[in-house]
Amino acid sequence: MREAFHDQLDGIFADLSDICGLVEVAVREATKALMTGDVHTADQVISSDKAIDDARERVDDTSFQLLSLQQPVAGDLRMIVSALRMVSELERMGDLSVHVAKIARLRVPQVAVPEELRPTMGRMAEVAEDMVRRVRGIIIDRDVEAAIELGRDDEVMDQLRRRSFTELLSTDWQHGVEAAVDIALLGRYYERIADHSVSVANRVVFVVTGERPQRD
């Protein structure tokens, strides 16, 4: 009985890893739509959000079933509660990717990101996607060291966010209010994807060690 229970717990974390994979694709494709003005790709990202939502519901259902039927204690309870919080964060990351895709779609046939902002915004997108990719490995391997390292590396995204504001507020800005709002929102979306990635990684640390990692 307990063996079956732990198989179900492992299955929850396998599902979390799969959801993380879906989010990674969503971030990558939303960025592609943003940088190219590809309406078809933007629409695919928007429609793919249902798969993430459905997967979240499956994790929720399994977790609540285990809570009600198995009455888990100590480490097992910590694992289930953490999984419920992690899947909520992953779903939100998918939603943020959809927000990026919607800005891309709204500006078609133009491209939402002005030429001089493309290096910074492109780098923010790369960092966000990389962090999601690394979180997937952290979930699969329950890798505490990698999780702590990811938290430290979040500073890269913070620096890029500050750079985007510097560029946005420059006296040389000639793209109007609409483009400025787009850039401010896009920077926030990528920053939040990174923040959620760190939060998920921290929850993995909590699952494994029972302690929350300390930020330097």
42-79, pLDDT tens digit by residue? 999 999 999 999 999 999 999 988 888 766 676 788 88
State how far the Cα of 4 lies from the Cα of 1, in Å rounded to an integer: 5
pLDDT tens digits along 147-156: 999 988 789 9
Where are the chain's structural domains? 2-209
CATH topology of domain 2-209: Methane Monooxygenase Hydroxylase; Chain G, domain 1 (1.20.58)
pLDDT-based confidence at residue 172 (cuts at 50, 70, 90): confident
Question: What is the pTM for the complete model shown?
Answer: 0.93
d(CA 171, CA 59): 49
Q: Where does 73-168 have alpha helices with state H? A: 74-107, 118-141, 144-168
C-alpha of 145 from chain center: 19
- Tell me the helix, strand and coil percentages in the chain, rounded to 5: 85, 0, 15
